[in-house]
Amino acid sequence: MSKFFFALKNKYIFLLVISISSSNIFADSINELDRLIVNGTRLDQNNITDLPLNISIITAEDINLSPAKTIPELLSLQPGIQKISQFGNHAVRSNIDIRGFGARGVENTLILLDGKRLNDNDQSSVNFSAIPMKNIERIEVIKSAGGVLYGDGAVGGVINIITKLAPYKTKKYLIEQTVGSYDSVTTDLAAEYSNEKISFNLFGNLIHSDGYRINNKLEQQSLSTNLNYFFSNTELFLKFGFSEQNLRLPGDRSVNFVTGVDEFSSDRKGSDDAFDFAIEDASFFTLGLIHSFDENIELIADAGYKTKETDIFLKNNQEFRTTTHANLYFSPQLKMKFDLFKTTHNIDLGFDFYHYQYNLDIENRTAADTNHDIAQAQHRIDIEQENYSFYLNDFFKITPQTSFQAGARVQYADIDAFDQFDPTATLNFGFASNQRASLNKSDNGYMANLGIKHQFNQNIAAHMTVGQSMRFANNDDFNQLAEVTFAKSFSNIKPQRGRYIDSGVTYSKKYFDTSLSLYLMKITNQIDFDPARSINRNSDPIERKGLEYSILYRPNNRISTRLNYSLTEATFDDGANKGNDIPLVSKHSGSLTAYYNIFKNMNLSATWNYVGDKFFDNDQDNTFFAKIPSHSTVDMKMTYEYDNFDIDFSANNLLNKEYFETGTTNSLLFDAAHTRFNAQPMPERNFSFTIRYKFD
């Protein structure tokens, strides 16, 4: 293993040297011209404080000071956002849920990297660990709204992670080494260069961790780069990267109230099997331009290609799966500014095209046969989906104190699904092994928003937004077992629709800022899992409502504290489960964060995070006699900076709490008595130490 990491580090260093040397040679031969800025966002940054949206910005400074070690941990400190993690191992298999979607949070929270989708067209988690936190310029969080600008899947909200551009006239290199509990070693390498005509950065990341639990080892490496070239009134940009991940899967810990089995008490760190694993290789490529025709008209156009291949072996299922995603997109956008009726309108007019190609090969395996190739697949699933949409958004000020926004998006989806079935390769485990009937369908829907914001005086402002969001079914939604017969089938699931109203008020003074938000969301045809029949389907109507409160107090330049609190109520609004709570959604959650500048170059930060109890996944009828318990954790971080040399020391879960964030009761179809549950324990007290050096 040490030889592998040494070779891989040499590969990254070689790429860094070649890339920077090439950019220096190229940059020395060009002249100074004006430059544009790519920021990977569709929000108007000049008017962001006037937008009638529930939006918050997490800055690079916030990230640097926070004790949070991963992006999901950082986001979960925001009001209205909950994190669901299986392992707590470098954010692998972690999901973000905005405003109470529980197990469906990953499909209803749109995650973007520089304005481009990270969510694959299935139910898999976003690999947050492949995004170095030091490479983040800021994170934009939009709650409820966002569908008009970014498309379907933004029902709960949008999280847009904006990566850094090299500052003007910069030449900098960085190496960062982190060691921590569970034999964790992380190496980050970075390079930045820019002058009048070029901006270039490159980030490499290596992770090795044994994980908190047995058979949860993680090996990961990733590389990403941004290259921007400026000439006249045009900017060309190129972004590409890859990541490779080898993750061992420890499985669940089980508790059975009839047999008395309690693996949480007897073997908390244990594993179901030492053979289960998941291997993932991913890459992306984006090429685009920004051209300013004049100060009032700007064209942004980009196209890209993203691939991901995942191999999974599960011994208990005696099954090996290979999944391949290939996504192609094209997104031209026209930004216009003009005066009409003595008002300046800021128009965004655009078109988004996404082509998704999904392939799944399934083969039954014996426990001893753990090679990484499928010899003879029982099923070869091919699903092809094309989404194309048109959108228009208008932002303008009615008066100097009052701003208004209106927008709409129309989206179409064409789906073709096929199953190539080989009966000679099938092993029957009691379920019907059959060829799925092909599925060919088309869906459409629209998203819209209408918002107003008024600044009453220099301290008080209020906003209100109403709108409609959509989610179209993905590959995993279509591909399932059929009800009663257990024959494999493709489900004809309808698009999901959400209508919302969001309002809020903010108050700012010299020493503190505070905000209060209220929202109501009505979801029809939510795409969900029915544990009683073990199928995917459109659920009964669901209502989500809540309150989010935040207050920031900074008495001087050395001390600041922030308190966040969320009340989230997510319930079935009709049907047999009417009035029942949605599983995996905590009604109460909150955090308290404090920063203290001990002296000029040393900072201390601490965070207390509380998550209330919640129903287990699959417990839609709320009849299981136990809940996932509430928990609170305390994290601390000490940072010291001196010239180009930084040191960080972090202690997470300082109080050594034993807790878990997600758990599942068995489907009612197989455990009608509701006697057992499975869950994944989270790490206890753990530490990390980081040394960082910057070369100018």
pLDDT surpasses 80 at 533:
no
Lowest mean pLDDT among 27-36, 154-163, 419-428, 429-438: 27-36
Per the structure, the count of domains in the chain is 1
Under a CB-based contact definition with an 8 Å cutoff, are residues 94 and 167 in contact? Answer: no
Q: Are 38 and 228 in contact (CB under 8 A)?
A: yes
pLDDT at 368 over 80: no
d(Cα 577, Cα 543) in Å, to the nearest integer?
12
Residue 337, judged by CB atoms within 10 A of its CB (0-12, 13-18, 19+), counts as middle
Predicted confidence (pLDDT) per residue in 212-225, tens digit:
999 999 999 999 99
More confident residue, 422 or 356: 356
123-149 per-position pLDDT tens digit: 889 999 989 888 899 999 999 988 999
Distances from the Cα of 573 to the Cα of 576, 578, 648, angstroms: 10, 5, 48
- pLDDT, tens digit, for every residue of 372-396? 665 566 778 899 999 999 999 999 9
Average pLDDT of the segment spanning 102-126: 92
* CA torsion through residues 666, 667, 670, 671, sign: positive
Q: Are 42 and 348 in contact (CB under 8 A)?
A: yes
pLDDT tens digits, residue range 540-594? 999 999 999 999 999 998 999 999 999 999 999 999 999 999 999 999 999 999 9
Beta bridge partners of 517: 504, 548
Residue count of the chain: 696
Domain with residue 147: its CATH number is 2.40.170.20
Domain that holds residue 678: 2-695
